[in-house]
Structure 1
Amino acid sequence: MNELELKEKVIDILSDHKTGILASVEDNKPHCRYMTFYNEELTLYTPTKKDTEKTAEIEKNSSVSVLLGYEDKGQSDGYVELLGNATINEDQSLKERFWEESFAKWFDGPHDPNYIFLEIKPKTIRLLNLEDEPPQELNLE
């Protein structure tokens, strides 16, 4: 698979799978949780509250890992493992674009100041378990 095909396959998986695992660093140890993800090309966005431990962890150490995919058919599903850096993004147009009514459980609407996104810029993305192919790696540094 060439680099363009790899990138397209990764974007397909990122676009088709919204629930994944975000790992950040807490006290020099991994801290994992399920999150909802949106993507623009290879950049991921995940909504969260401004006043959570996730944001405090990322302010101390921006290194994160994300797993997405592997949901439908079990062991034969392709999935991605993304390593990158996260920043806090409070852009109002982003908040409005990705707003879902289900978020009303946690936020007062897309203008709630506590509603923010973590923006994740990948450094390395590995595509795994795809149609009996060996793992493929996309380096973005």
Structure 2
Amino acid sequence: MGESMELNYIDIKKEFVNCLEKHELIVLSTCLKDKVKSRMMCFVNDELVIYLLTGKRSNKCKQIEGNDNVSLCIDNIQIEGKAKIIGSPMDENNTEISKIFKSRHSAYYKRFAHFKVATFIEIRCEYLKQWKFENGRDYYYCLNVVKEKAEKHT
């Protein structure tokens, strides 16, 4: 281990997006006052922007209001990002997200979206890392969205 090689940013970004689109659940971790909490969440994504549906009085929203840095995990992918609460699924500006969420998580959306406390959380992915194993060797890909840079580390 120890060598890195720059990769095509667009190609690696597509790989990460394809991985996200194959899943319905993701682990969200939030932190406030040195208390970390993790929970499994239904999600949808638009490229590398992830949307979650929750209650605005939840611990996760309280933590995000105090610290917008979040971590996500799905399979062998680690994600760091910035979260913000963007409002009710019934808000006009959330129409497209609601359509996507309803199509992927119909029962969940129908059960919770109409509540007054329902809100979407938007997470903009900033850094993604995925471990891989090939030909008896392990390595990982890193995607730095902020710098638009992709690397392979061996």
Q: TM-score range by the shorter chain?
A: 0.7 to 0.9
Please, which runs of 5 or more residues in structure 2 have no aligned partner? 1-6, 88-92, 147-154
Deviation at 1:129, TM superposition (A): 2.7
After TM superposition, the score normalised by the length of structure 2 is 0.75
Q: 65, 68, 72: which one pairs with 2:71?
A: 65
Runs of 4+ residues deviating >4 angstroms: 130-133
Q: Residues 129 and 101 (structure 1 numbering): CA distance in 2 closer, same or farther, change over 3 Å?
A: same
Instruction: Determine the structure 2 residue equivalent to 1:92.
Output: 94
Aligned alpha-carbon RMSD (Å): 1.9
Instruction: Determine the structure 1 residue equivalent to 2:54.
Output: 48
Please, which runs of 5 or more residues in structure 1 have no aligned partner? 71-78
Instruction: Determine the structure 2 residue equivalent to 1:120.
Output: 123
Structure with the higher strand share, 1 or 2: 2
SS at structure 1 position matched to 2:115:
coil
Cα deviation, 1:64-96, whole Å, max 9, x if unaligned, reads: 00001x2xxxxxxxx321101100012431234
SS at structure 2 position matched to 1:134:
strand
Is this contact kept in 1: 2:101–2:109, CA < 8 A?
no
* Number of aligned residue pairs: 129
Taking the aligned partners of 2:98 and 2:133, their CA distance within structure 1 comes to 33
Is this contact kept in 2: 1:67–1:82, CA < 8 A?
yes
After TM superposition, the score normalised by the length of structure 1 is 0.81
**Matched ranges for 1:98-113 at <5 A:** 98-99=101-102, 100-105=106-111, 107=112, 110-113=113-116
Letter in 1 for 2:83: A
Taking the aligned partners of 2:139 and 2:11, their CA distance within structure 1 comes to 15
Q: Matched residues, percent identical?
A: 26
Taking the aligned partners of 2:50 and 2:108, their CA distance within structure 1 comes to 19
Q: 32, 36, 52: which one pairs with 2:38?
A: 32
More deviation in 129-138 or 11-20? Answer: 129-138
Q: Residues 25 and 120 (structure 1 numbering): CA distance in 2 closer, same or farther, change over 3 Å?
A: same
Instruction: Determine the structure 1 residue equivalent to 2:152.
Output: none
Deviation at 1:26, TM superposition (A): 2.9
Taking the aligned partners of 2:60 and 2:8, their CA distance within structure 1 comes to 36
